[in-house]
Chain A
Amino acid sequence: MKRFWVLFGVVLLMLYSFTGFVRADPTGATVTAGTAVTGSGTTSDNITINAGEVMSANIYGKTITTKWAGFYGNISGGISLEDSSGNVFYNWSVSDVTGAVVYAANDTVSDWTLSNASEADMPAYVQGTATDSFSNTFTASEQFTSPTKTVDNVLYAVTYGTGTFKTYALKTTSEIIFAGKSPGTAAGFNGNNVDYQILVPAQSNTNYYFYLELP
């Protein structure tokens, strides 16, 4: 029987080690808005993801977690991105970005017919009732509008900043999509002027592509 418990313990340990990758363990750290906790710094012209940060007004303070990642950046006045090898810089601009929306999608989007997403559409690691779960983060709902899309009853989260930076939870038939609407250039969570902030569920095997819908 003793051997059984030892083996059972081993199995539990193994299970734990595997599920550990999807484990979110809020530390409860309260940090004043504008102080970066994790992630690398950024220049004001680059769009940056600060992984491991939740910037939600619905959660008390800023909680370090492995479940969420924040993206923010500028779309007005030109956009500059480097390729992954750091050798090529892509500078571009859109003549009028008023009303433009930035989307983060977890795959190639085959059909841009959008509808509202629910907790059931989300990855398992943000489902449930944990403090930093989807349902505790995307707590309000309203009509989502973009230059060409209107979707009713879309859950959204508001992230830190002097502007009202909202992230909307949407989906297509096969992908989940998070939309960041710009309130206009305003100070973001880190005090820098940004045009949008998006909050997305992110883990080690999550990859996002970014789209800009033209106004």
Chain B
Amino acid sequence: MDKKLKGRSWVLFLLFAIILILNTSFAYSIELNVANSKDWRDVFSVMLYSSLKGESATFLNSESLAGFTSVVKEGTDINVYESQEMPYIPNLKSQLSIIGFNVLNEVKGKRFNLELVPKGINKFIVVSSDNYRLLPSLASFAITNKYWVFIVDETNVDEVESYLKKAQEVIAVGNFRRDLANRLQPYFDKWINHESIFRDSIELAESFSSYNTVVLSDGFSLESEYFRTTNPVLIVGSNKLVDDVYNFLVKHNVKSVVVVGNSLATVGEQIRTKSNKTISVFIKFGQADAQNTGKIYALTFFPLPAPKLFLEITNVIYDPQQKKLIVYFKNSGNVGIYELTTVSVKNGDDELASASQTEAVFIGARETLPVSFDMELPVAELSNNTQAVFYTSFGLTPVELDNYLTLPGKYVPPYITSLKVKELDVENLNFDIVDVAYYPSLNRIGIDMINNGSAPVYYSLRIKDLIINGLPETLSKEGVLQPSGSVERVYISAKLDEVDMEENKQFNLIAYYGPDEETKISKLEKTFEFKTASAGFLTGFFSFDSAGSISLIAIIGAVILFVVVLFIRKKAKSNIGY
């Protein structure tokens, strides 16, 4: 080999070495998919897609890049998955490039849940968008068993149906409104529905091969753990360990539990106490800062569209004449909730009396409801130091009472407050519900009531478990009925379809009533056969609910428009005549 050739060989060798080194460096670089969307369905889909593909992923949860750069290292290779309609940070690609990230790809989409179905995956889970709290459980199940999860509502049911038609297997989880169920049920190979997200998550967990470690979530947010773990994820309450979940831990001899997020620390403590410290509990609470500037941050969460539940006790009165303890529950939230309470009255450690509800009570949104407990207390022993001690659970349905009522700043029950002794002026009211009917043309239920007494009657009405679009709902209305002696009709809005009207056999009504707001402690329960009625032309327009008001406004608007048009035409005619 001549000298020149030998030199060339060395050059080639070195070039090869350089390429090898560069390739090696690429192999060690971190590649990260980033969901840039305010839509939780997009975020879930990008995270699930990435995990199914064996890729790392995270998401934005703020309009500021600071949160992202605090935990993702500069120089990371990024694939941006950006919502065209609801990005957190528009044009994220450019912004990341400017601050030193290497953006490899940018994928823009409108509905990632439909657009990111991985090639080769033909097994699907279907869940209603109303059952968002199941998503953490579904994520770990789907990744372990290689399923895609469709989050279905009326806007995407057509596209989802087209996927299901060609599916190898379809598992439906949770309940569905009838319009969705009618469309999709023919494709379901299996339907997991226990009318409880906790039990649904347990059935998903039962399919795992190992239960050595179990992850717990409250289902109110997404976190990367659910997309990385190989363990089942069970749903629990925010501050309450659900019995079904605890029973699962015992039944399967679970050794360790990981609770995601510090908000579930109290649930972790309940597991330790209840298991007599035989189950290990690890609270995953923080993550290291990416830039090594010296901080641990809380975990990155993406909130799911959970309604905020707010329950408080505003007053507690003991009425010695009626031998009743009256507790005023206030639901400050914007959705109706159920509560179930055990209360004891104590002087220090001495319990004077206690009482429990046997059935969960519905409290409408923004409603204050006096709930009475039969109780006989020694009045002479009651003082300013006497306390009413509450163990109150509440939740969205009677079988999902997954929150404890706690004092402000406290994480566990009981809720403790003082009580007043007062004789409430409960007059002998003459109040009755005489008839109920559904008015299809008005999309309202009319309730006929009568007050034959001499004083106004304050009432809180409930129509229990009325089937609307296939699912039971409790409707409520508050008001005052004047002592007119004639039947008065009040309306509650409800849109029932033909099948609902067939399935509802009766109206179950409960009315709490009294001579004033504070004393609505009398209870009237009545059942009426379900029936429909036709409304007169103006019926309902003058009822003072939102639908009636809108109708009235529409009528007045139409009349004004008619008059204006008439006036213009008349003027135009007179101008021509002139």
Residues of chain A having any CB pair with chain B under 8 Å: 1, 3-4, 7-8, 10-11, 14-15, 18, 38-42, 46-52, 69, 71, 73, 79, 81-88, 90, 92-95, 103-104, 107-113, 147-149, 202, 204-215
Nearest neighbor of B301 in chain A, beta-carbon distance: A83
- A108: chain B residues within 8 A (beta carbon): 224-225, 228-229
A38, A50, A81: most-surrounded residue (chain B CB, <10 A): A81
Structural contact, B294 and A42, CB atoms closer than 8 A: yes
Task: Please encode chain B, from 283 to 311, with 1 for each CB lying within 8 Å of some chain A CB and 0 for all others.
Answer: 11111111011111111110000000000
Contact A95 to B269, CB < 8 A, known contacts A11-B18, A39-B294: yes
Set of chain A residues within 8 Å of B212, measured between Cβ atoms: 111-113
With most chain B CB atoms within 10 A of its CB, the pick from A42, A52, A92, A113 is: A92
Interface residue B489 (Cβ < 8 Å from any Cβ of A): no
Query: Are A51 and B66 in contact, with the CB atoms below 8 A?
Result: no
Number of residues of chain B lying within 8 A (CB) of chain A: 65
Q: Please tell me if B258 contacts chain A, counting CB pairs below 8 Å.
A: yes
Q: Is B68 an interface residue (CB 8 A)?
A: yes
Are B10 and A51 in touch, CB under 8 angstroms?
no
Q: Which residues of A contact B301 (CB under 8 A)?
A: 83
**Contact flags B244-287 to A (C-beta < 8 A → 1, else 0):** 00000000000110100111010011001000011111111111
User: Given known contacts A84-B70, A84-B71, A210-B286, is B21 in contact with A48 (CB within 8 Å)?
Assistant: no
CA distance A130 to B295 in the complex (A): 27
Report B-chain residues with C-beta under 8 Å of the C-beta of A212. 265, 282-283, 285
Closest to B256 in A: A112
Q: Which of A82, A88, A204 contacts B73 (CB 8 A)?
A: A204
Q: Is B321 part of the binding interface, using a Cβ–Cβ cutoff of 8 Å?
A: no
Q: In the assembly, what is the distance between CA of A210 and CA of B412, in Å?
A: 24
CA distance A39 to B230 in the complex (A): 35
Of A11, A103, A107, A109, which one neighbours B14 at CB under 8 angstroms?
A11
A81: chain B residues at CB < 8 Å are 262, 285-286, 296-298
Q: Is the CB of B285 within 8 A of A83?
A: no
Closest residue to A88 on the B side, CB-wise?
Answer: B298
A sample of 28 cross-chain residue pairs with beta-carbon separation below 8 angstroms, ordered by A number, consists of: A1-B7, A8-B14, A10-B14, A40-B294, A47-B296, A48-B294, A49-B289, A51-B292, A81-B262, A83-B301, A84-B67, A84-B71, A84-B297, A85-B64, A85-B66, A90-B263, A92-B411, A112-B212, A148-B279, A149-B280, A204-B73, A204-B292, A207-B73, A207-B290, A208-B287, A209-B288, A210-B284, A214-B281
User: Which residues of A are found within 8 Å of B231, using beta-carbon distances?
Assistant: 110
Assembly CA distance A38 to B291 (angstroms): 13
Q: Are B229 and A207 in contact (CB under 8 A)?
A: no
Q: A48-B296, A211-B285, A212-B283 are in contact. Are A112 and B265 (CB under 8 A)?
A: no
> B-side interface residues toward A, CB under 8 Å?
7, 10-11, 14, 17-18, 21, 24-25, 28, 30, 61-62, 64, 66-68, 70-71, 73, 75, 212-213, 224-225, 228-231, 255-256, 258, 261-263, 265, 268-269, 272, 277-290, 292-301, 411-412
By a CB distance below 8 angstroms, the chain A residues around B263 are: 90, 92
Please indicate the chain A residues that have their CB under 8 angstroms from the CB of B293 in the complex: 39-40, 51
Q: For the complex, give the distance between the alpha carbons of A95 and B410 in Å.
A: 10
Residues of B within 8 A of A94 (CB): 265, 269, 283
Q: How far is the CA of A201 from the CA of B287 in the complex (A)?
A: 15
CB distance from A148 to the nearest CB of B (A): 4
The answer on a CB contact under 8 Å between A14 and B18 is: yes
CB of A5, distance to nearest CB on chain B (Å): 10
Q: Among B11, B25, B288, B297, which residue has its beta carbon within 8 angstroms of that of A83? A: B297
